[in-house]
Structures are given as structure tokens and as C-alpha cells.
Amino acid sequence: MIEINEVSKIFTGRGAPFTALDNVSVTIRENEFFTLLGPSGCGKTTLLRVIAGFIDPTKGTVTLDGQDLVSLPPYKRPVNTVFQSYALFPHMTVAQNIAFGLEMLDKPRAEVKKTVDEMLALVRMTEMADRKTSEISGGQQQRVALARALAPRPKVLLLDEPLSALDFKLRKDMQLELKRLQSETGITFVFVTHDQEEALTMSDRIAVMNAGKIRQIGGPRDIYDHPAERFVADFIGDTNFLDVELLSIAGEQATVRLPSGAEAQVRAPGEGVAPGPVTLAVRPEHASLSGGAGAVLPGTLANVVYFGTDTHYHVDLDGGGRFVLRQQNQPDQAQTRTVGDRVEVTLAPGVGQVLRD
Amino acid sequence: MAKGFDIRRQTGFATVAMACFVILYLPIVLLVVYSFNAGTSVAIWEGFSWRWYQTAWQNEQVQAATIRSLVIASWATVIATSCAVLAALATTRQGTFRGYTFVFAMINQPLMVPEIVTAVALLIFFAMIKVATGYTGLFYLIIAHSAFCIPFAYMPIRARLQGMDLSLEQAAMDLYGTPWRVFRRVTLPQLWPGILAGAMLAFVISLDDVVITEFVKSAGQDTLPTYMLGQLRRVVTPEVNAISTALLAISVVLVIAFFFLSRNKK
């Protein structure tokens, strides 16, 4: 378990001081696939490097299973990193790269050999053991970097955007591969990415970061279905933002008045919102055009875009604003709606999330 | 700059380039040619002969000076390169620190201070030590050469360190490598081309030095260049050409060797 407590990092260079981490506190659980998600410059990599020991926090504490990490140099921390650039040693073979950490720990030769063989098998690189790292492909380098970091059996594996250099297909494969490695080894993974889809597919929990702060922590579903604030809702997936009036709130249930005047039953964060004007976030696939129970937003169909798996309907709402819906396509489905049609956007009870700001 | 501007197409470019090459290399070509002169003149060709090479080879003074030059250059290379590696590590791997620019300037000071000033300063300084200790051996020359060779060794080593991917050293540290082991296992293996380049440069600079050597040397401590200078003051024979040509050959071999070494490393 990693406990990060009120960690701040302020870089003071020639220019103005830059706050990369602003009072960040988070607990990462044992055996968890934990993702730090955010746009570039949000502080996610800085936080990872604070855990690895390459950056000293300006203030705050980091402990691993109760042991203080901040006072330890990187080579005494039981955590290993998979670097964005892989950072494979160019003057060593694949097997020598994987053996490096074990040799630094002065493990007996036989044990090093055995572990290296296991690791090569784990990442399916046994045939490549004696190749130079410059002679293998990007995806293979990625797997070697993983094996090298896993070989010393760290308590925590830190991954710094490890998939960003791979092409789309390979990235998909590696996402599953990473998930498999995590469950097979039982090691806690702390994964940094700016790719929301990657975060949603792989993580047990996600911390969404912006401007040096953690904005929300939760499971992929929590984060996607119930974003607590506008930044999170906007950064992850597509969202419609509606200006509504919060009428009443009870726990996470709330009643709002839509711009159309209809009252809708929606979700709200447990705290931090009060009756009055608020923003409501609605995912495009959560609203419906085919009626049913719920609050209604009438409008005119402005555009229909076919995407293969689904169709996007752009609706100009009466009273201003545009609402985008997404509906999954069925085989041999007739195109029934055309531009200019009067339509009703329906929000079923529980659809829509009140945002904190 | 206008699109399509090409310096090679400018009027007179070829002429100027040729003139530069002629001025640079014609004297050297003549020097080499006359080292094979059968006569005793360095200006009148009297036929081909190896005689001046034989004369130089058998000249005991030349032999002694050559050995002395090589001994000094070898020691100076080892000392200067070691210092340069340490200096380069300190100026590229410690982040910026107070007085960084000052330290950088101090390391490169021998490049900026006129050589004659260093020579006079060393002469006076070493004279004081000689009086105090009575020691008059080669040590003074070795130290003097080491000192002015440091910046030449430092430059390529620093360039190599700066060009290296820092994340490699971080990865090694992350994988439980202590600073010394990271240096031994990751930094050093990649630094070799830079160290080799720096060492060769230091060696050639030391081998070639006249001014500081002339001031610092005690009686009977002629190096090859100062011996040649002494000879030229008396009578000029193609023997000097022969020695120069030999030195030239050594430098060319070193440069070519380095070229292939660094190419293979890539």
C-alpha cells in the first residue's frame, strides 16, 4: 500500500516557480491497477517520479507499507519503473537487460538465470534472449522493458505512458497483456497515461489529475458515469453540458429543472453542490430519442452522422444549445429520422450527473 | 536567406576553396617530399633516398627525445583524461549548482590564457619547487602537459555525456544500481568513444607542444618538438623533414583509428 500524503512539488528555475503537484494525497492499495490520468503537464508523471525517487517532493510524505520512501535514494526503493522511452541498455542483450536489476541485488548466478528465463517466458521473448535491443521491434522492446522491471519482483511497478509509442493495434494487444501480467504477478501497478480509453479499459481505479491536483478518484465506471466536476466530465469521453437549476438534493439523488421546464431525476455528488444554477452532464449514449419514461427536451434534428458501430444525432434544442446523442446501430436498420424532424430527447430517471462547478 | 541559396554555386567559390587547400596542404606536401631528398638541402631536390630517415632513426638524441615525448604524452594523457572524465561528470550530472559557469571557465582556462603566460608562470612556480626539493625529473613536464591537456580531453567527453540518454542511468538506478555501479555498468560502456577521442586529442596536443615544454624543461629534457626547434637554429637538413613526416604519419594513423573505432560503436 502506497500512501501519498499532502505531497507538493514546486519547480524553481529561471522563470516563475511552477507548481507541478499541489497538496496531493492518495492511497494506492495492494495488488491494484491504479491509473494516473490527465492531460500533459497535469503532474501525473511528476507524481510517478516522486514515488520512484527521481524527484524530491517540496513537501509531504510518501510511504510504502508504512516505510518512508522520500528519504531513500531510488536504488533502495522496492519499486521499478517502465520508462516511456523504455530506456533499454543499448550495449546489452535482451537477457542481460532483464538480468540487470537482479545482478545489482547480488542474487546468486543460478537464481538470476532462472528468473531471467521465467521473465522471458512471461513476456514471450524466449527466442529473442540473445538479441541486441536495437535488433528488436518497438513492441518487443516494450515487453523487454516490462520484464526487466518485473524481474526483481518489486512491490510496485511504475509505468510512465509505456504504450504511447506503439501503433494502435499493438497498443490494444499490450493493454490486455499488461492486465494479464498484473493479475499473474500480483504486483501493484501505477500507470500514467493521458489516454482516457486506456485508463478505462485497464484500471481498477483511476485518479484524474489536472493542474497538479487530483480532481477525482474512482473506478472506471464511477469516473465515466458519475464525473464529479466539469473537467473530469469533459476530459473523459464526450459529454453534453446543460445549464439547469438544482431544485433539491438528497444524498446522491437530485431533482433539477431542465431548460425545457421539465423536472428530471438525476445523480449528484454527495457534497459540494447546493440548490441553484448548476451544470448537468449527460453522456451522448445515455439519452434516448425513442421516448419512454423520463424528462423531455424537445428540439429539431440538425445533423445525423453515421459512424459504423453507432449513429450520432445532433439536436438543436428549443431555447438554444445543441445536444448530441449516440445510438448503437442494428443490422438492416432503416434510417427513420432525417434532418429537420422534430424530436424529443428523453432523459430516463437517473440519467445525468450534476457537476460540482 | 533566399530559397535555393547554395554557397557552392557562388562565383569564385571553387577558386577560394582551392586556394585554401593549397595554402593548407602544399607546405606539408613539400615537407614530406623533401624528407626523401638525397641531398642535404631542404629546398633543392637531388633524388630519392631513405637516408634522412635512417639518420634520424640512428640519432641517439632523436631516440631519447622521442622516448621522452612518448613517456610525457602517455602520462599526461592518462592524468588529463581521468581528470576530464571526473570534471565532465560533475558538470553534466549534478544539475546546475552555484558557480557552475565559474567551474566551467576554470576547466577551460588553458584554452583562453595565452600559452606563454602559463609557460612563464609554470617556469617560476616549478623553479621554486626545484629549489625547495632538489628534484629535477620529468615530473614537472608531465604535470604541465596534464594541465593544458585537460580541456582538450574534457570537450569530447562532456559532449558525449550530454548526448547520452539520461533515462538509461535513471533506469539503472531504479534497478538497484548504486551510483558507482551505474557508472561502471551503464555510463562508462557508453562513454568509451568520448574518452578515446579525448585521450587521443590530449596525446596529440602533448606530443606537439613546444612553448610550455621549452620553458619548463630542465637541461637534457628535450622532447621531439623542442629538439627539432634546437636543430633548426643550427643547420637545417631534411632530417627535420623526416622526423616531421613520421609525426604526421602517427597523427594520421591515430585519426583514422579513431574514425573507425567510433564508427563501429554506432
Q: What is the pLDDT of residues A58-113, one digit of tens each?
A: 999 999 998 999 999 999 999 999 998 899 999 999 999 999 999 999 999 999 99
Q: B62-101 as b/e, with b when 16 or more CB fall inside 10 Å?
A: bebbbebbbebbebbbebbbebbbebbbebbeeeeeeeee
Q: Do A101 and B185 touch (CB under 8 A)?
A: no
Q: Do B176 and A152 touch (CB under 8 A)?
A: yes
Structure-block grid coordinates of residue B39: 641531398
Q: A107-132 as b/e, with b when 16 or more CB fall inside 10 Å?
A: beeeebeebbeebbebbebeebeeee
Interchain CB contact of A319 with B (< 8 Å): no
CA dist., res. B33 & res. B44, Å (int):
11
Residue A230 lies in a domain: no
Contacts of A149 in chain B (CB under 8 A): 174-175
CATH (domain of A218): 3.40.50.300
CA A254 to chain centre: 27
Our CA-based measurement puts residue B97 at a distance from the nearest CA of chain A, in whole angstroms, of: 12
Of the candidates A169, A196, A225, which is a domain's last residue?
A: A225
Interchain CB contact of A104 with B (< 8 Å): yes
- On the question of pLDDT at B263 being above 80, the answer is no
The confidence score (pLDDT) of residue A203 equals 92
Answer for the pair A182, A158: CB distance below 8 angstroms, yes or no. no
Instruction: Give residue A257's domain range.
Output: 238-354
Q: Do B170 and A87 touch (CB under 8 A)?
A: yes
- A94 plus A63 within the same structural domain: yes
Q: Do B167 and A73 touch (CB under 8 A)?
A: no
The confidence score (pLDDT) of residue A13 equals 73
- A15 plus A160 within the same structural domain: yes
- DSSP calls for A9-70: EEE-SSSS-EEEEEEEEEEE-TT-EEEEE-STTSSHHHHHHHHHTSS--SEEEEEETTEE-T
- On the question of pLDDT at A214 being above 80, the answer is yes
- A207 plus A65 within the same structural domain: yes
Contacts of B189 in chain A (CB under 8 A): 91
- A257 plus A141 within the same structural domain: no
Which of A159-168, B126-135, B161-170 shows the lowest per-residue confidence on average (mean pLDDT)? A159-168
Q: Do A75 and B174 touch (CB under 8 A)?
A: yes
- A291 plus A220 within the same structural domain: no
How many CB atoms neighbour CB B265 within 10 A?
Answer: 13
CATH fold for the domain made of B60-265: MetI-like fold (1.10.3720)
Q: How confident is the model at residue B1 (pLDDT cuts 50, 70, 90)?
A: very low
- A161 plus A46 within the same structural domain: yes
CA dist., res. B125 & res. A106, Å (int):
50
- Substitution target in A14, A100, A160, A161 with the highest count of B β-carbons within 10 Å is A100
The confidence score (pLDDT) of residue A73 equals 92
Q: How many domains does chain A have?
A: 2
Mean residue pLDDT across chain A: 89
- A97 plus A219 within the same structural domain: yes
- Substitution target in B175, B191, B264 with the highest count of A β-carbons within 10 Å is B175
- What end-to-end distance do the CA atoms of chain B give, in Å? 34
**pTM reported for the whole predicted model:** 0.79
The confidence score (pLDDT) of residue B4 equals 65
CATH (domain of A247): 2.40.50.140
- Substitution target in A11, A48, A75, A83 with the highest count of B β-carbons within 10 Å is A75
> Which chain B residue has the Cα nearest residue A89?
B168
Q: Do B189 and A91 touch (CB under 8 A)?
A: yes
- What end-to-end distance do the CA atoms of chain A give, in Å? 32
Q: Do A87 and B165 touch (CB under 8 A)?
A: yes
In this complex, the residue of A53, A91, A101 whose CB is nearest that of residue B175 is: A101
- On the question of pLDDT at A156 being above 80, the answer is yes
Contacts of A105 in chain B (CB under 8 A): 176
Which class for A74: exposed (0-12), middle (13-18), buried (19 or more C-beta within 10 A)?
A: buried
Structure-block grid coordinates of residue A281: 452532464
Interchain CB contact of A142 with B (< 8 Å): no
- On the question of pLDDT at B266 being above 50, the answer is no
Q: Do B172 and A100 touch (CB under 8 A)?
A: yes
- A244 plus A211 within the same structural domain: no
- A86 plus A218 within the same structural domain: yes
Contacts of A83 in chain B (CB under 8 A): 167, 170-171
- A73 plus A155 within the same structural domain: yes
Instruction: State which H helix or E strand residue A146 sits in.
Output: helix A138-150
Q: Do A81 and B172 touch (CB under 8 A)?
A: no
Residue A233 lies in a domain: no
How many CB atoms neighbour CB A61 within 10 A?
Answer: 15
- A245 plus A210 within the same structural domain: no
- A157 plus A286 within the same structural domain: no
In this complex, the residue of B167, B177, B181 whose CB is nearest that of residue A87 is: B167
The confidence score (pLDDT) of residue B3 equals 57
- The string of pLDDT tens digits covering residues A110-154 is 999 999 999 998 888 888 889 998 889 888 898 899 999 999 999
Answer for the pair A98, A45: CB distance below 8 angstroms, yes or no. no
Interchain CB contact of A81 with B (< 8 Å): yes
Interchain CB contact of A73 with B (< 8 Å): yes
Strands of A40-161, DSSP E: 59-64, 67-68, 79-82, 156-160
